[in-house]
Amino acid sequence: MNRWVEEQLRPLPTDYAWERFGAEERRVSWDGFLSYDGVLYGLPAEPPVAGSVVQVRERQLQLRVFSKGSLIATLTKRPRSQEIVQHPTQFSKVSPTGSLRKTEQPLGHQVTPPTVEIRNLAEYDHLFRKAGNTMKEIPELLKTLHFKYVEPQLANLMEEARIHSLTYDAFLRRVLSLEVEARTHTAHQNRRKAAHLPVSKTLEAFDFSFQPSINERLVCELADLSFVRTHSNVVFLGPPGVGKTHLALSLAGKALDAGYSVFFSTLTDLVEDLEQASQQHALKARLRRYITPQVLVIDEIGYTNLSALQANHLFELVRERYEQGATILTSNTSFAQWGKLMNDEVLATALLDRLLHHAEVLTINGKSYRMKDRNQRKEARPEQ
């Protein structure tokens, strides 16, 4: 008691002490009850507090309930028991029974729970059966779309997507690009097959130093295929073995790689084929084989003389391809000899007129590469 006097201490004002120390936190149940000292106290419907935390301050058998700093209810404290005390307005917002189940949010003021679609159980069966069918449907859909490459790989692709956790767009991109790549590859193979190249040759394998009369720069320019785009012609002239066919095949290979359609034939095969077709009254259809490719190679012009009919067929072909497609020709005879070759000077002139209007002519004056090998062998074994 001395200290009270000495230190001039005074008891705290009762209200202050109560405010300061008496608050206890409680979470209000979803149906608006507050549990305090073993009694469930109902809270009014307004303001909405169900599910939230409130503060309870007890004083002289009175409970004052605060929410967010304001007093929302003053309740009479009940003796400790299992009593449940309903508040008169606690369920004022709850719809009457019957529809009670649906609007079970008891105080009508709670956070709306996420809506869940309620189906009957049979519907789930149906849904899962449908999902199973979808898995079976995919290969059928891929077949319908002619996704020939992806279709047998689908299971692997999906497994791979799962392992690498691919996003939907990454997976779709992978599937589509695989199919496109495979199609491009197949198309390329098919084009190459349809081109009937007797053998594959490349410019890289061509030894320009052996054939100095060839303008290497011009050949490289031709390899960029602008002559294909402008429907121009390329003529390789020169004696046997200097690489005319090799160069023609190299350009044809480049054109195939670039996606152009190509057809290769020797002149003899070509005119014989057309002659046979004309005997069967199918010349027009057969001509299409030589007219439609974007690049036509006519090899070995000059080895055999043509009949009048064959010369006409060749002229017809050149006329049709004029400014419509690119033609690569190789010949061991000069243009002056083509009249003799076709047995018709006038026709040969008309043909060359069209052929050379847009054309690069490369004349090769050199030794035969075939002979080079033979000469080298001879040099290696001079006693023979």
Q: Which residues bind ligand ADP (CB under 6 A)?
A: 201, 205-207, 210-211, 238, 240-246, 330, 369-370
Question: Taking the complex as a whole, how short is the minimal distance between the CB of residue 211 and ligand ADP, in angstroms?
Answer: 5
Report what 201 binds from ligand ADP, Mg ion, none; CB cut-off 5-8 Å by kind: ligand ADP
State the Cα angle at 230 between 224 and 231, rounded to 5°. 105
Task: Give min distance, CB of 300 to Mg ion, in A.
Answer: 6
3 Cα distance to chain centroid: 88
Please report, as a single letter, which amino acid is at residue 198: P
* Least distance from Mg ion to the Cβ atom of residue 298, Å: 11
370 binds, among Mg ion, ligand ADP, none (CB under 5 to 8 A by kind): ligand ADP
Total number of residues that touch Mg ion (CB under 5 A):
1
Q: For residue 347, which amino acid is it? A: L
- Residue 146 buriedness (CB in 10 A; 0-12 / 13-18 / 19+): exposed
Minimum Å gap between C-beta 214 and ligand ADP is: 8
Task: Rank residues 217 and 281 by Cβ distance to ligand ADP and give the closer one.
Answer: 217
Residue 5 contact partner, candidates ligand ADP, Mg ion, none, CB within 5 to 8 A by sort of partner: none
Element containing residue 222 per DSSP (H, E): helix 216-222
Identity of the residue, 116 or 205, whose beta carbon is nearer to ligand ADP in the bound complex = 205
Nearest to 62 by CA among 86, 36, 83: 36
- Report in angstroms how near the CB of residue 332 gets to Mg ion at its nearest: 8
Phi-psi label, residue 281: left if phi above 0, alpha if psi -120 to 50, beta otherwise: left
Specify the DSSP element, H or E, that contains 58. Answer: strand 53-59
Joined together, the tokens standing for residue 190 give 């098919």
**Site track 243-282 with Mg ion (rule: CB under 5 A), x = hit:** --x-------------------------------------
**Residue position matching structure tokens 């007890």:** 58
Binding site for Mg ion (CB under 5 A): 245
